Amino acid sequence: MDLHRSKPMPAEPEILAFHVRCEAFYPADAVNASVADQRRYYDALCAEFDAPTPEGLTRRDARIGGRIPVRCYRPAEVATEARIIYLHGGGFVVGSLDSHDAICAELADGTRAELVSVDYRLAPEHVWPAAHEDCYGVLKTLIAERKPLVIIGDSAGGNLAAGVVLRANSEGLPGIAGQVLIYPALGGDLVGGSYVEMSEAPGLSTADVAYYREILRAPAADVFAHPLKAKDFAGLPPTYITAARFDPLRDDARSYAAELAAAGVDVTFREEPQMIHAWLRARHVSPGAREGFRRLVEGVARLVGTA
């Protein structure tokens, strides 16, 4: 079988139906469209899978450092002083406070912790290290308030989360209680492993990953941009990593979990066997995504101390 031409597909009917719905809004060749069109497609996709606000949860929009937009979520019950920072996915090109609003609301509610979502600058208008610096700036500001922080990121946001945690560790910045990486893009080799096996997986292709890397313009040797290239993982905080079986980024997650474990980091790794990239959006329509999200909330709750 020619792995480059095969298109592996999960067997769960609901996640396949989810993928079809996604492509109606965000076509497989979306990266060939203008950036403005990509953002329009993505906004429509996110709106399609919106969800009701958990009862009693409140939101407040603000700016950190007078410049970086954030959205602060407070659930009806707050059971910990630890807070969550959420870094959204979208290939560094699309995504916003609104795109991941429902996900953030449900995470805050499920973990009974306050959550701050970051609207970092996007490429191509702002290339590396703009997004990283925005996220690190928010991290430093919140750490100064002396409350424990758990950093979560999905996809490109998982890259940013891993990068800022590595940087904080290298600079001796205290106060990070954990990190959570959701199908993260961590700089793996595009010509090996899942990048070949899942090169045409539904929802994200290896060619898409290459496009997003090119548009970000991060230096190849920068470990904060490509966390798998780091040489020292000792001292990183407890970590929860979740991957999708049908995703070219799968082996980035597997490899990073292995590196952390080898360095003595407390790491939990979970791979969703029937899931595709961006399965978080399917949490209300797919049994596999529902279970994955339940486990994710449990993992975050352990890190913030509410489990």
Look up 247 and say whether it is catalytic: yes
Written as one string, the DSSP assignment of 25-66 is HS-TTGGGS-HHHHHHHHHHHHHHT--PPPTT-EEEEEEETT
Dmax (CA) of the chain: 56
Q: Which of 19, 88, 226, 277 is an active site residue?
A: 277
Q: Which of 247, 251, 252, 286 is an active site residue?
A: 247
Look up 132 and say whether it is catalytic: no
Alpha-carbon span 190 to 209, nearest angstrom: 8
Sole residue written with tokens 């990239």: 277
Q: Which residues of 232-253 are buried (b: 16+ CB within 10 A; e: fewer)?
A: ebeebbbbbbbbbbbbbbbbbb
Alpha-carbon span 249 to 188, nearest angstrom: 8
Q: Which of 117, 155, 194, 199 is an active site residue?
A: 155
Look up 19 and say whether it is catalytic: no
Active site residues: 155, 247, 277
